[in-house]
Structure formats: C-alpha cells, structure tokens
Amino acid sequence: MTNSVKIFDTTLRDGEQALTASLSFHEKIQIALALERLGVDVIEAGFPVSSPGDFHSVQEIAKQIKNATVCGLSRAVEADIKACADALGVAQQFRIHTFISTSDIHVNQKLRKPFDDVEAMAIKAISYARRFTDDVEFSCEDAGRTPIDNLCRMVESAINAGATTVNIPDTVGYTLPDEFGGIINQLFNRVPNIDKAVISVHCHNDLGLAVANSVAAVQAGARQIECTINGIGERAGNCSLEEVAMIIKTREKHLNLTTAIKHREIARTSKLVSQLCNMPVQPNKAIVGSNAFSHSSGIHQDGMLKASNTYEIMTPESVGISKTKLNLTSRSGRHVIKHRMSELGYHDDDFNLDELYQDFLALADKKGQVFDDDLEALLFDKKQQNQKDAFKIEYLTVHSGSGEFATASIKIRCRDTVQIQSATGNGPVDALYRAIKQAVDIDFEVSDYKISNKGEGEDGLGQADLVVHYQGRNFHGYGIETDVIQASGKALINALNAISRAQQVAFLKQQANQQKSVRGV
C-alpha cells in the first residue's frame, strides 16, 4: 500500500455552501488557484447542477487548473452527473463525485426506499458517470452510522460498478476515532475488491473530532482525506486541511505517511480564504491562528530564547509565517525584556534592566500588551515626559453613499503647523486615512485594521485597532468613540504619534552614542 495520502479540498463546495453569502466568481477562481499553488491533489470546485452560477464557476476553474484534478459533486441522479460532465469536460483531468445515503436513518427517513433500491441507484449512477470519465468517486453518505454489513456491501458494489475512489463520510461528526478507524479496518478486512479503489474519508467536526477521525482513518489504510481550509463547512465545519497536513508532516516518522502539500503556502492560503469568506480565524486555531506561534508565559519565553524546540514542535516558517512572536505582557520575564532591547540595538550599559523592568510591569498591567515603541519610550521617559503629541485631529468630516466614492476632509495639527487636506477612497475609513497620509510627513502603511464593539447594543463604543508598518517596524494604535470613523482616525493618529516618539528616541539614542564616543576618545 502506498504511503502517500491524497488531499481532497472541498473548500469551494462544502465550505462555500456554509457561508452566509456566496463567493463571487472571481473569488472562487482566486481560491482555486491558491489551492493549486498549495499542492492539493483534488479540488472539489462545486455542485454544477445547483445553479447556473455554480456551473460557470466550476467550468472556469476546470479551464484554469492544470496541476490538480478538478471535481464536481452530484447526487445519484443522471441530470446531476451530466451537469458535472458538461462543466468539467474542458479540464485536462477531472473527477465526478456522486453520492447517496446508506445509514438506516437516512435510507428509511429521507430516501424512504429499501436498501436494495438504494444500492441499485448507486450502481446506476456510478455506471453512468463512467461514460464521461475513468475517475469516479462514490460517497456513502452517513457511513459513520451505517450498519457495517450494509456498508461493506455498498462499497463492494460501488467498486464493481466502476468507482475508483470510495468515500466513507462521518457526515454528522458522530463517531469516535477508535470507532471510525475500526470501520476502515473492517472494510479492508471484509470487502474482497477493496484493493481496486482508493478509500477516502470526509469527517465533520460536530464533536471536534474531524481531524482525529481522519488521522485514525489513514492509520487504518485510507489514502485520501477530504478537508477544507481553516476547517470551514456545514455546521461546526470539516476536517481542517492545515491541521492534517501538518500532523502528517510533523509526525511523518511515526505515521510513515506523506502528502504533496507545499507547507509554506499554508498561512497565505488560510489568510486568503478567511478574508474572501469573511470568516475570521480564531486566535487559538491550530497552525494558522494568530496565537499559534506566540508565547506570553515567562517560563515559555525563557525556554524559547534558549532553544525553540522547547515549546514549538514545528517552526512558524514551515507554514509560511515569518517568525515566532514573544508577546510583551505582565507575564514576561526580565530575560525577554533584555532580549527585546538587544534586538532593538541597545547594549547592556544603555539601560538599567531592573528599573526598566519595573516600569515595564506597571505599563503592562495598565495596557495589557507592550510594544517595542512603548519599551523605548520607557527608557527615555524622563527626557520625554514633557513632550507633546506630534499629531492631533482638530476637525474631520466624511461623506459616503451607495455607488459613489467616499470623501474625507481633515484639519490636523502636525507639530507646529496645521494641515487641511481632502481625499477620496473606496470607503470612509480609506478616504480618511488617505487624507491623513497627505497631511503628515511619514510614509507609512496600515498592515492590519479591525473594529470591535466595546459595549452592548447600538450605543456601544466602537474601538478601532490597527498596526502601522514604518521602516521595517510595526506600531500599534487604537481609538475608542461612539462614531467608528472618529475611532479609526484616533487609532491612526495614536500610531503616528508612536512613530514620532520612536523617531525622537532614535535621535536621543544617537546623541547618547555620540557622547559615549566622545568620552571614549
């Protein structure tokens, strides 16, 4: 048996059908191309018979994808299968994926047919699909709750009818890993023609076991995992592609399995799907969450500084994330502060670590997370305590409406001068930020921006948080107002003032170094 596990991605089918709003044609193409770049083996592009739009999207994806098999879903109905064939026929290689329910609950309550009739429908559908392609996949819907005798019988019949891949779904996420692995084991032991098809699994996450069940299945002999980016999908979602891919990569020696996934593309693909599907990734999500490679505990940070494998079983670079993040919080120790100051270019004799650490703790208790510019400001606090903010908004107004560009006008004090600027943008915040950028003498880029509600109901305060990138460093800014546009303006000004303070710190540092140099002479 091969040790290569195929990755079948159904983000554009099972994942997309669970979204509150359908993806546009161009968004689907973007995701499909990203999946191809990621190295998935099969892309399930949609359900062609469901709508003209889905048919068109599947057809265009089939035209553009060259390095993966493009697949379409169909019920065990000839019209569905024909729609798949018509949409996919333009592809270099394609698969028709047809399915029917096999559990007693579905057969009796949904299909309301004898199992013999259901089996006959499956055989007929597979045989019809084979007229269009040699690559036919058949799924036993709700296999996890199907009596094992019936499941063995259906799998054997499906393979005899021409199915080259047989999928065993845990459709409702009900089984436990030992149960699901046991089902796969029994199929390999009891189905005489099992070697003539690839056994696939499609697990849902209703009990949080989709990934565990999928791994148990491949340990038992399955060689295809059906999954989605970020685990999106019906109800609680599907098996997460990035998780199973990194489990197989990280535990390759133990599992003796591999995939064709290009692991360094994982983070980029996850971010793209999250943005286009408007489904934020939870911070503690395995592999791709913002906290997945962040360390706040002082004990953990100390271990990480000594050897990264003390608390990381994989590197962030291995999934396409730039580097590990050591959060500066009240739980951080002196060694982390010393390390961060060293990274910022300071030497041990530039500061008193004990004094700096006490000031840091006081600020961390007040602010939560401390950033590099905060740390530098603490170092030069006494010299800067009378320094005023460099920028302050004195007046702003924004106009926007349906079908037109937003316009923002702003009056802003920039150190000792006043600037009045106007700009247009794709939205009110974009227009405001363009106007501010015209007014200040800082070439910055907003790399992250989000709005959250600090309160309940329509009158709750809106908090804007953003990260501004300037000369290779990130500066955090935030603003709170009942008006989210004003909050957004305050957040950017807050970050720009941090940049201004950092510039002043750099100037003072340069002066201090010059004085040292003179003393050294």
CATH 3.30.160.270, the chain: domain bounds: 391-508
Confidence check: pLDDT of 418 > 80: yes
pLDDT at 476: 82
Provide mean pLDDT across the span 416-439: 92
Residue 188 has pLDDT above 90, yes or no: yes
* pLDDT confidence of residue 23: 84
Could you give the maximum distance between any two Cα atoms of the chain, in Å?
Answer: 97
Which pLDDT value is given to residue 72? Answer: 98
Least Cα distance to 169 among 189, 199, 208 occurs for 199
Can you tell me the distance from the alpha carbon of 439 to that of 410, in angstroms, rounded to the nearest whole number? 9
| Lowest mean pLDDT segment, chosen from 55-64, 367-376, 402-411 | 367-376
Give the residue from 26, 226, 23 showing the smallest Cα distance to 140.
Answer: 226
Alpha-carbon span 231 to 242, nearest angstrom: 8
| Total-model pTM | 0.67
> Hunting for tokens 């007046």 — which residue is that?
395
Q: List Cβ<8 Å contacts ≥24 apart for 84-89.
A: 84/48, 84/49, 84/58, 84/129, 84/132, 85/129, 85/131, 85/132, 85/133, 86/48, 86/55, 86/59, 87/48, 87/55, 87/58, 87/59, 87/62, 88/48, 88/58, 88/59, 88/62, 88/133, 89/62, 89/132
Protein fold of 6-277 = TIM Barrel (3.20.20)
Tokens matching residue 371: 């950033």
Q: pLDDT-derived band of residue 335, with 50, 70 and 90 as boundaries?
A: confident
CATH no. for 391-508:
3.30.160.270
Task: Give the pLDDT score at 295.
Answer: 47
DSSP annotation string for 132-198: T-S-EEEEEETGGGS-HHHHHHHHHHHHHHT-SEEEEEETTS---HHHHHHHHHHHHHH-TTGGGSE
List the beta bridge partners of residue 78: none
**Alpha-carbon distance 290 to 321, whole Å?**
10
Mean pLDDT of the chain: 86
Question: Does residue 117 surpass a pLDDT of 60?
Answer: yes
Could you tell me which of 34, 42, 37 has the C-alpha nearest to residue 14?
42
Amino acid at 141: E
pLDDT of residue 455: 46
Tokens read off for 24: 């546009």
Q: Where in the chain is the domain with CATH 3.20.20.70?
A: 6-277
pLDDT confidence bin for 239, thresholds 50/70/90: very high
Cα–Cα distance for residue pair 295/504, rounded to 1 Å: 30
N- to C-terminal Cα distance for the chain?
A: 74
In the block, tokens 């996420």 appear at 173
Cα(488)–Cα(477) distance, rounded to whole angstroms? 9
DSSP 258: B
- pLDDT (0 to 100) of residue 377: 63
